[in-house]
Structure 1
Amino acid sequence: MDRVKPVWKHHRIIHSKYPPIDCFESPDSMILAELESATSDRVVHWPRYVDEKDYRAGPGWGAVMASFCYPSEGRFNTAARGAYYAVDSLETALREWVFHTGEVWQEFGVTNDYSAIVRCYTGHTAEPLVDLRKQPQFMHDTNYAPGQKTAADLLNADEYGILYSSVRNPGAEAVALLRPSATTPVIQAGHYVVQWDGERFTQYAHVEDYNPL
């Protein structure tokens, strides 16, 4: 298997309803975890989702650790274990987010005009990744089973993650980081408002600084 360490800055979009700072952002995260566990036992029980050697805490690690401790099924992971997905540009990150979120909003019947505020995290890949960019069997629009099986095998082999071609923005690249240690700490970048027309997301705009009233 070929391994490549991407040189581009990676981007990840999340909904701004999730708090930007959590206990993983603090060096005293184990103490704070005891307090936060009143509402989230996954913070305390992170060893269920992350190997001890890959545990990270401190500034820039909250969003990374959350992607592992609060997993949802993806192209290269199941709901039992998370992964940190990121891509090569803001545009690609937005395209990925609006595709997946749009499916959820359609399922829940959101038919009125609406907008969502999202934010971007950026960072750099810290370790070489298995290169699957020329493997079309992993690029199916909805069938994630082949990728999930391969990723599980790679994780068991102590690999750091996967480099692959973005399905939502052809020609772009994406990474599925299987271990937190595969990335640098991330930085919170811009905030964006994304507009929903009742059927799909149609446009976005950068959110400037607010002024006091």
Structure 2
Amino acid sequence: MSASLEDLLPGRAGPIQTYRLVASAHPAISLFGDLEDLSPEDWDLAYALEAMTNPRLRDERGELVLIPQAERVYGPGSSLIMAAFAYRNPRGSRFSDGSFGVYYCAELEETAIREVAYHMGKFFGATQEAPQTFVARNIGAELEGSAYDVFALNEPWLRDDDYSACQAFARQARVQVDCLRYQSVRHPGQVAYAVFRPKALRNARHIRYVELYWDGNRFTHAANISLEL
């Protein structure tokens, strides 16, 4: 890895509208937002009590202890933000070794769709899934925070499918900044973000459902669903 933090100066990202696709496993509700009138201490107690007997709640909220209390967000839409930080991913991702959560998003809806189609395509291919429709939720949120901008860096490790160099870089960067601005690997020339802190995001909301069509070998196309019954 030839680039280092010493080569970069922290800047600002946003305020800017971003998009993120997540699998649609549950109805579009906000569990974090339900308790917005409670203090953080009371909220944590209420969550702990309910999570003991509510598997669905545990599934959406994940492991709250992974998020420092000072960095948590509450109120309408906060569940859509917090969920990304409340899970350990043992396999890791481009900018996480799996020990911390990252909210991945993009400036364009198409970029978010292409990123998800690629990664879900790898999974569907590995498990030899039959032709089907994969439904995801398109989440919009405003991003504003300190950032390292690596979009223009001509570094192969930023686009390599071996994430080890990106993960090493991110472990250092997240101590210094709220997010990284980088070039999408799956939609070249377009901007993506790796957000390290919930408080860099606000006004998260469900925009629409998106259908991605799997033909048994790859995702061939996507369609927006604007009608909810």
Give yes or no for TM over 0.5. Answer: yes
Of residues 200-209 and 95-104 in structure 1, the stretch that sits farther from structure 2 once superposed is: 200-209
> Is the counterpart of residue 17 in structure 1 residue 25 in structure 2?
yes
Structure 1 residues 16 and 177: alpha-carbon distance in aligned structure 2, compared to 1, 3 A threshold: same
**Letter aligned with residue 62 of structure 1:** S
Q: Distance in 2 between matches of 1:62 and 1:205?
A: 25
Task: Give the 3-state SS of the residue equivalent to 1:119 in structure 2.
Answer: strand
Deviations 1:140-163 (A, max 9, x none): 331111111111112233x21111
Unaligned runs of 5+ residues in structure 2 are 1-7
Answer whether contact 1:42 1:70 (CA < 8 A) is retained. Answer: no
Distance 1:32 1:160, change over 3 A: same
State the shift of 1:95 in Å.
0.0
Aligned to 1:63: 80
Question: Matches of 2:192 and 2:157 in 1, distance apart?
Answer: 12
1:105 counterpart letter in structure 2: F
Task: Report the Cα distance in structure 2 between the residues aligned to 1:97 and 1:41, rounded to whole angstroms.
Answer: 20
Which is worse superposed, 129-138 or 190-199?
129-138
Give the secondary structure class of the aligned counterpart of 2:222: strand
Matches within 5 A, 1:1-213: 1-2=8-9, 3-26=11-34, 27=36, 28=38, 29-30=43-44, 31-38=46-53, 39=55, 40=58, 43=61, 45-47=63-65, 49-72=66-89, 73-110=92-129, 112-135=130-153, 136-157=155-176, 159-210=177-228
TM-score normalised by the chain length of structure 1: 0.88
Distance 2:137 2:61 in 1: 22
Alignment length (residue pairs): 208
State how far apart, in whole Å, the 1-side matches of 2:96 and 2:182 are.
14
Q: For 1:190, what is the secondary structure of its paired residue? A: strand
Report if aligned partners of 1:131, 1:163 keep a CA contact under 8 Å in 2: yes
Q: TM-score scaled by structure 2?
A: 0.83
SS across alignment from 1:198:
coil
Separation in 1 of the partners of 2:62 and 2:118? Answer: 32
Corresponding position of 2:3:
none
1:5-58 deviation digits (Å, cap 9, x = unpaired): 1354100001111453353222244314421243339948523x2122101121
Deviation at 1:80, TM superposition (A): 1.6
Residue-by-residue CA offset, 1:167-202 (whole Å, 9 max, x unaligned): 000010000001111111311101111110000000
Q: What secondary structure does 2:182 align onto?
A: strand
Q: Using the alignment, how far apart are the partners of 1:44 and 1:67 within structure 2? A: 9
Identity of aligned residues (%): 24
Q: Tell whether the 8 Å contact from 1:71 to 1:78 is kept in structure 2 after alignment.
A: no
- For 1:44 and 1:142, the matched residues in 2 are separated by 27
Q: How far apart, CA to CA, are the structure 1 residues paired with 2:68 and 2:148?
A: 20
Runs of 4+ in 1 over 4 A off after TM superposition: 41-45
Task: List runs of 5+ in structure 1 lacking aligned partners.
Answer: none
In structure 2, what is the Cα distance between the partners aligned to 1:189 and 1:34?
A: 31
Distance in 1, Cα, partners of 2:186 & 2:32: 30
Q: Which amino acid aligns with 1:5?
A: A
